[in-house]
Structure 1
């Protein structure tokens, strides 16, 4: 465990759980106020932000406007985007990009020094500001990590896993965690006045994902156990074009390739997306993901053919993807890339307002751990990094306004919880959970499969007395239960038994853990009764 400022026996009154883009940006925005940042892995290693290829969406090119960005965001969100939140996010985009520039992020510019942007699916303008084609996330994180290490007010506690929030009345007033050292017996208690969850997404709950192993839904589980409201948990975005390989996580073929004109073809070279949507390869991600899923399950195969659109310039223009293709034994200059959908981004999360406040006092959530309403049922490409920095900055301002005078607390060891262990989760249990989620709560879902998944998740939970696994299983149960209770298809949530979009369900979903469990039981009881009487 590393600490770049002071002894771990004291805790700042702001604790940020997570060290991806949202967490680090929030810490920098709070400077010079002292903050403690908990990172489960060495800083930068466990963050999905570092793997983001395309860039950050912002209306910076001639002809583009905030209004157009908002309109595209709403159109992609399948009727559930909070317009006010989308307007706020898009209107702050340019300023946040310039903040990142000030931190040393080397965004691509033209010969006159103006920001360059490329086009991605469902964007009406060239709006995605990147770095060297496909290295935006890596470059942004490298710049922020350097800034954080040079900022004395930020204490980094690397290798610490948050396992539970401490609640006093309506307020969250502390964090329980353990060193991430395999079989760790010490429980740390960090008292605080403000906790910011920046724990990332849920991708690693799935067998095929583009997310790092740390993306296990821990923020979702921590907040739910504490009683916070969870929103839109059923909406999981599957990136259409993960590169088929043996690697875990799956390498990603950036959407910018399709923006440059690459085609999706079957094994016979037939281009299939024009038959599925008028925008063809640039259709919203959920439509492209389902089309590719259908191609693969039917045996026709799905391949991204970049030979005409990018050709010999591939290694220079998309160096990260080129290297990953070569690692998988594919030469994209000469042959199409085999692709499949992979769990990529969670539109749901801990419900927050425009200041990133959750339903509990003392608890904020930012980045993918939060559900702001900006993405609705289907995130517009490259809005994720934008949402992360916009609401990280707003959370920092809100904390400064609410708690203007910093304090420091004595931290220490907490009593153990009998019957539970904190060593690394059982490998077989994690594998089983990920298989269940991919099989039943993936690109295509149905009622029977979701009920089977709930039963299997409950069984795995009962068999594994492990804090970290139980948090994974709880996050999986929340996503599965929310998917069961939305009896329609919308955005990233597609039910083969309810294929139509229901106007009556054009609303966001809100659950506490107690209300979700109660409604699931009522639904199962009603279903059992109906089958008995029929």
Structure 2
């Protein structure tokens, strides 16, 4: 739909999303003297960052950069962009030090998590690292003069006559508010809520991916969905038990009481997440419930190291410090998203993306544990550095479409994706799911309908990407193609109009 746009406000930099990438980018932009408006669909201290349990991974020093890069590349199963990984390991530590200086109370001891060869994960508040990062950066953003719009749902992006992204339209307070901007950064998080059972927060409905695609950006690798191995499912919700529980010595046992991970991988419980998740799924199918046991660490140690997990599971009647708890894989993190380069540029003038919404090239086919918060820092900062040199105001000429889908349709989408694009997929099932997806129900008039429309669009990308990837690699498994095909390739969907810095070796497969 095309229509004239009335502007209600103007800002140099508009950031959509209040997680680590958005908040850190806002602070960096304010330090450059730019006016910043940050909009988030819920509370500022909400979303995935707030609930992150594990920690922040960064090299221990220059001597550890090559090793951290190797661990990241190994987890990514041949699909990481080596140049992006190199940038990340060279810059991550400086940004972690910067947020420590802002007041994030990282503990002195470091944790080792799955896929890491060394203990290089910083944590705060035990298993409350995300909460510490979120609260400190949010307070700093307010103090720095960042204009914050809470409860503002981005329904559409504003486009100039040239096709440049020049702002966004929000549903807020029962009305519509259009904000013009010299540059827009998407930091909206992932799309875990396209599945019915997930550890993703309610905000994780793929809004940024859908917004960017409608503006002409490419999305890639959306088929790579990370199932966290150790989730307690209660009342249809996934309650995460942090990776650090296994890093601290937690043991997985099947229904026969057998420790089984060493039969699947020499690293045992510290194998990469895709390996552990599939092993748990197979043991559940073979024997029944799988449990995670940290009780041998002692009650005092469990309460001190994992206070959030301990308290949350106690509310479900489970004392993880005393008894093994039943766990299973559940959707946790989405590696694919809006394709970006090392500057977080999407290929569409005026539009950048950082954090889980982006396919930066860091994670490849499977994210290395605790690289996500540090990715938000590195590429949030890089986005601002690029945006600062190109603050360009253009009159909004139109906005992108805003298709809607009701609650029944959204539930249908989730059920189809869960049934046919889980830990293991098949071509027949994927084709059937694509054919059964509901149609949009007109323009979104409220947040729920807009989220439904976004879920539908992301589900289509996911199913098409999974169908196009005729191999098993990392977080994606095709039953009829059990091996990797030997040629690392990206599945790219959409056509970005401009690429100032192409990614080398990128192959496209579009349904």
CA distance in 2, matches of 1:108, 1:140: 13
Determine the C-alpha separation between the residues in 1 that align with 2:382 and 2:250: 38
Partner deviation per Cα, 1:482-528 (whole Å, 9 max, x = no partner): 11100000001111121111113x122222079999943xxxxxxxx
**1:299/1:464 CA distance change after superposition, 3 Å:** farther
The equivalent position to 1:441 in structure 2, one of 410, 418, 421, is 421
Q: In 1, Cα distance between the equivalents of 2:389 and 2:442?
A: 46
In 2, distance between residues paired with 1:241 and 1:485? 29
Q: Does 1:212 align with 2:201?
A: yes
Report if aligned partners of 1:177, 1:189 keep a CA contact under 8 Å in 2: yes
For residues 199 and 400 of structure 2, what CA distance do their matches in structure 1 show?
A: 35
Cα deviation for residue 402 of structure 1 reads 2.6
Residue pair 1:11, 1:411 contacting (<8 A) in 2 also: no
Quote the residue 1:172 is aligned against. 165
Which residue matches 2:436? 456
Aligned mate of 1:510, from 488, 492, 501: 492
Aligned to 1:277: 265
Q: What residue number does 2:58 align with?
A: 58
Q: Unpaired runs of 5+ in structure 1?
A: 1-7, 110-115, 521-534
Give 1:176 shift: 1.9
2:4 matched residue in structure 1: none
User: Do the aligned residues in 1 keep the contact of 2:198 with 2:330 (CA within 8 Å)?
Assistant: yes
After superposition, where does 1:23-102 map in structure 2 within 5 Å?
Answer: 23-31=22-30, 32-45=33-46, 47-60=47-60, 65-102=64-101
Answer yes or no: is the 8 Å Cα contact 1:489–1:501 preserved in 2.
yes
Partner of 1:192: 181
Query: Does structure 2 retain, via aligned residues, the 8 Å contact 1:120–1:258?
Result: yes
Does residue 124 (structure 1) correspond to residue 103 (structure 2)? The answer is no
Counterpart position of 1:380: 368
How far the C-alpha of 1:427 sits from its partner, in A, is: 3.2
Which one of 446, 451, 462 corresponds to residue 479 of structure 1? Answer: 462
Check if 1:161 corresponds to 2:153. Answer: yes
Whether 1:14 aligns to 2:6 is no
Q: Give 2:253's aligned residue.
A: 265
Q: How far, CA to CA, are the matches of 1:518 and 1:65 in structure 2?
A: 36
Q: Deviations over 1:17-55 (max 9, x none)?
A: 11111111100000131111111002112x101111111
Task: Give 1:421 shift.
Answer: 8.1
Superposed CA RMSD in Å reads: 2.6
Matched, 1:142 2:135: yes
Closer, same or farther: CA 263–415 of 1 in aligned 2, 3 Å: closer
The alpha carbon displacement at 1:194 in A equals 0.7
Q: Structure 1 CA distance, aligned partners of 2:27 and 2:304?
A: 33
Q: Which runs of 5+ in 2 are unaligned?
A: 1-6, 498-506
For the Cα contact (< 8 Å) 2:182–2:390, is it kept in 1?
A: no
What TM-score do the two structures reach when normalised by structure 1? Answer: 0.86
Alignment map for 1:403-414 (pairs within 5 Å) = 403=391
* 2:8/2:177 contact within 8 Å kept: no
Alignment size in residue pairs: 489
